[in-house]
Chain A
Amino acid sequence: MNKSLIELKNVTMKFGGVTALSDVTFDVKEKEILGLIGPNGAGKTTVFNVITGVYQITSGEIIFDGKSLAGVKRYKITKRGIARTFQNIRLWGDMTALENVMTAADTHKKSGLVSGLFGFPISRREEKRDKARAQELLDFIGIGEYSDRLAKNLPYGVQRRLEIARAMGAEPKLLLLDEPAAGFNPAEKVELAATIRKIRDAGYTVLLIEHDMSLVMKVSDRVVVLDFGQKIADDSPRNVQDDKRVIEAYLGVPEDAS
């Protein structure tokens, strides 16, 4: 078994009186696709928010790549190797698809404002390299032809995919996907499943939130189930589907998960 890339240890997140996460412990292994499922309001997006530093956890610990993420600034967490997509698409609409990816890719640039202003060779070199890489990523995700279009003018499905490409632009080790298939038709979902596997095969580790059971079960190596902020299962897709507590939490949803 691979070693863990990220570990959540007894993580609790309270918002005033609401406990969004309660003593949650799980890890994601390197090169793994871990499905994170649970009914609405279970705390899935909150997991992403505490990992990426949007919220400081009430108690517990998050270890990424051997080091704690406590108190690390949000953009530095990204720089360390975690990037995410958003459940509600949050692209930069007035930028082109390519620029969206390049902006995330700037995370790892050595050249900054001053070398850009004076056109130092390092700035030109990095600019050229990142532009090519951003285009490659768009091609990889299958939306290469849209690179010069403004994000806001792209069709919905392309925007969802661009969210993934943008996150990959930041060269993360761990990719967090928050319901990337929301609003997709069955054919698009099949396509996306293939893409997610392709992403893993390219060396990324994926933590995937998804409501569509058949999709999660098909792509995940392992599945963690949350319900009311608590982890109620952590097992292979096969076993999770047969788990009594999971079936109860979902009340009938597993039927179409065959």
Chain B
Amino acid sequence: MFNLRDKGAEIWENQGRIGRIVIAVGAIAIVAALPFMGGTFLNTPVADYESVLVYPIAMFVLMAIGLNIVIGKSGLLDLGYVAFFAIGAYTMGLLGTKTDLNTWEILPIGIAMAMFSGIILGVPALKLRGDYLAIITLGFGEIVRIVALNLGALGRSEGIQGIPTPPGIFGIEYAFDSHRIYYWTLLILILLAIWMVRRLSARRAGRAWESIRQDEDAAELLGVPTFKYKVWAFVLGASVGGAAGVLYASKTLFIAPDNFTLQISILILACVVFGGMGNIWGVILGAVILGYLPDRIRFLSEARLLVFGLVLVIMMNLRPDGILPRKKREKAIVKKDAS
């Protein structure tokens, strides 16, 4: 079957340095210009197109890239990813309303908090495998939400209100309704996350994750410190989720436990699986489609969830490995087996 991923990789690899820069800059420019395409067929009929670009689309993309490190790269089934998103968001909510710190100062704190909880969860949970890990992470996601629901300091079911928007930087103001500014900010975070994942994938960490995903025991027996790299995968995934959470809180200005349900974990997982586990471009595409589609077909009203589910089922049957699967192309075609 025609493999879009391999075709794309081939074009990219055949480019010189200049060619690659042109392609990268061109692609970023097109993506950055998306908020101006609201008048076209891209427009979402009911929901505000530009706000849909920020949430769910860009936010989903960011989180899917983070979750992909855990699930796609390392093969660890994490069903509680929303917890890190929530921890980032509540860090922003709490510090934003109770202290003088602004969003940019809270961002690294939120990331650190998420990473720290990644360690707290990962160290005991990653000793377990498969289904057990899935159940523990599922529980963790729920625990975080329930703690937020019961802790007075976190506003219980009321949540936290009046979270400040980010202060302007470089003369750019973050007004509550200037969606495209948030979109571009998220885009920068997304580009950073892509850079991080691509960088790590090509080196020792990527190989360690890949070997763990394929045969963890063989990896351990050939010298891969599997536990350490699994925790790293968890912590890096958490950092991306935490960053998304901080931005989310600083954009919606109001957060409540209801924003951080299991459903988000499942949706992000769906983005990863639907797009193509382990392949960052597939995962991004999956998140864009699953973030965008429900709003684009909002005119179908009640039927839209049915259509959405149908699309998922049909796609997963046609392409079980996702739209852009991981399948690696073999560069050199070598001599057939001599024997």
Q: Considering the chains assembled together, what is the distance between the CA atoms of A247 and B184 in angstroms? A: 78
> Would you give the 0/1 interface string for A111-129, flagging 1 where the beta carbon is closer than 8 Å to chain B?
1110011010001000100
* CB atoms of B205 and A116 under 8 A apart: yes
Contact A92 to B199, CB < 8 A, known contacts A99-B207, A102-B207, A113-B204: no
Q: Please give the number of chain A residues whose Cβ is less than 8 angstroms from any Cβ of chain B in the complex.
A: 49
B101 contacts the other chain (CB 8 A): no
Contacts of B217 in A (CB 8 A): 54, 90
Q: Considering the chains assembled together, what is the distance between the CA atoms of A141 and B308 in angstroms? A: 53
* CB atoms of A54 and B221 under 8 A apart: yes
Q: Which residue of B lies closest to A93 (CB)?
A: B214
* CB atoms of B210 and A79 under 8 A apart: no
* CB atoms of B339 and A157 under 8 A apart: yes
* CB atoms of B222 and A95 under 8 A apart: no
Q: Considering the chains assembled together, what is the distance between the CA atoms of A150 and B328 in angstroms? A: 8
Contact A106 to B331, CB < 8 A, known contacts A95-B210, A116-B203, A117-B199: no
Known: A106-B224, A145-B334. 14 other contacts (CB 8 A): A75-B220, A75-B224, A79-B223, A92-B215, A95-B214, A103-B207, A104-B222, A109-B204, A116-B203, A117-B200, A123-B204, A148-B330, A148-B332, A157-B339
* CB atoms of A113 and B232 under 8 A apart: yes
Contacts of B229 in A (CB 8 A): 113
Q: Pick from B199, B223, B331: contact of A116, CB below 8 A.
A: B199
B162 contacts the other chain (CB 8 A): no
B337 contacts the other chain (CB 8 A): yes
Q: Pick from A79, A95, A113, A149: contact of B211, CB below 8 A.
A: A95
Contact A123 to B203, CB < 8 A, known contacts A94-B326, A149-B330: yes
B226 contacts the other chain (CB 8 A): yes
Contacts of B219 in A (CB 8 A): 92, 103
CB distance from A74 to the nearest CB of B (A): 5
B196 contacts the other chain (CB 8 A): yes
Q: Considering the chains assembled together, what is the distance between the CA atoms of A116 and B204 in angstroms? A: 7
- Chain B interface size, under 10 / 10 to 19 / 20 to 34 / 35 or more: 20 to 34
Contacts of A187 in B (CB 8 A): 339
A68 contacts the other chain (CB 8 A): no
B218 contacts the other chain (CB 8 A): yes
**Chain B residues numbered 287-306 whose CB sits less than 8 Å from any CB in chain A:** none
* CB atoms of B330 and A150 under 8 A apart: yes
Contacts of A153 in B (CB 8 A): 330
Q: Considering the chains assembled together, what is the distance between the CA atoms of A131 and B283 in angstroms? A: 29
B225 contacts the other chain (CB 8 A): yes
B98 contacts the other chain (CB 8 A): no
Which 9 A-B residue pairs are closest in the complex by CB-CB distance?
A: A107-B223, A78-B223, A116-B203, A155-B337, A104-B222, A103-B207, A113-B205, A90-B218, A92-B214
* CB atoms of B222 and A107 under 8 A apart: yes
* CB atoms of B218 and A86 under 8 A apart: yes
Contacts of A127 in B (CB 8 A): 203-204
**Chain B residues numbered 162-208 whose CB sits less than 8 Å from any CB in chain A:** 196, 199-200, 203-205, 207-208
Contacts of A79 in B (CB 8 A): 223
Q: Which residue of B lies closest to A158 (CB)?
A: B337
Q: Considering the chains assembled together, what is the distance between the CA atoms of A116 and B208 in angstroms? A: 12
Q: Pick from B196, B199, B328, B335: contact of A94, CB below 8 A.
A: B328
Q: Considering the chains assembled together, what is the distance between the CA atoms of A95 and B334 in angstroms? A: 16
Q: Considering the chains assembled together, what is the distance between the CA atoms of A148 and B328 in angstroms? A: 11
* CB atoms of B224 and A103 under 8 A apart: yes
Contacts of B339 in A (CB 8 A): 155, 157, 185, 187-188
**Chain B residues numbered 214-269 whose CB sits less than 8 Å from any CB in chain A:** 214-215, 217-226, 229, 232
Q: Considering the chains assembled together, what is the distance between the CA atoms of A157 and B229 in angstroms? A: 31
Name, among B215, B220, B326, the residue most crowded by chain A CB atoms within 10 Å (CB to CB): B220
Q: List 6 contacting pairs A-B, 8 Å CB cutoff, sorted by A.
A: A75-B226, A92-B210, A111-B204, A113-B205, A116-B200, A117-B203
A166 contacts the other chain (CB 8 A): yes
* CB atoms of A83 and B232 under 8 A apart: no
Name, among B204, B219, B220, the residue most crowded by chain A CB atoms within 10 Å (CB to CB): B204
Q: Which residue of B lies closest to A109 (CB)?
A: B204
CB distance from A32 to the nearest CB of B (A): 22
Contacts of B203 in A (CB 8 A): 116-117, 123, 127
* CB atoms of A52 and B221 under 8 A apart: yes
A162 contacts the other chain (CB 8 A): no
Contact A103 to B208, CB < 8 A, known contacts A90-B218, A113-B200, A127-B203: yes
Q: Considering the chains assembled together, what is the distance between the CA atoms of A90 and B328 in angstroms? A: 19
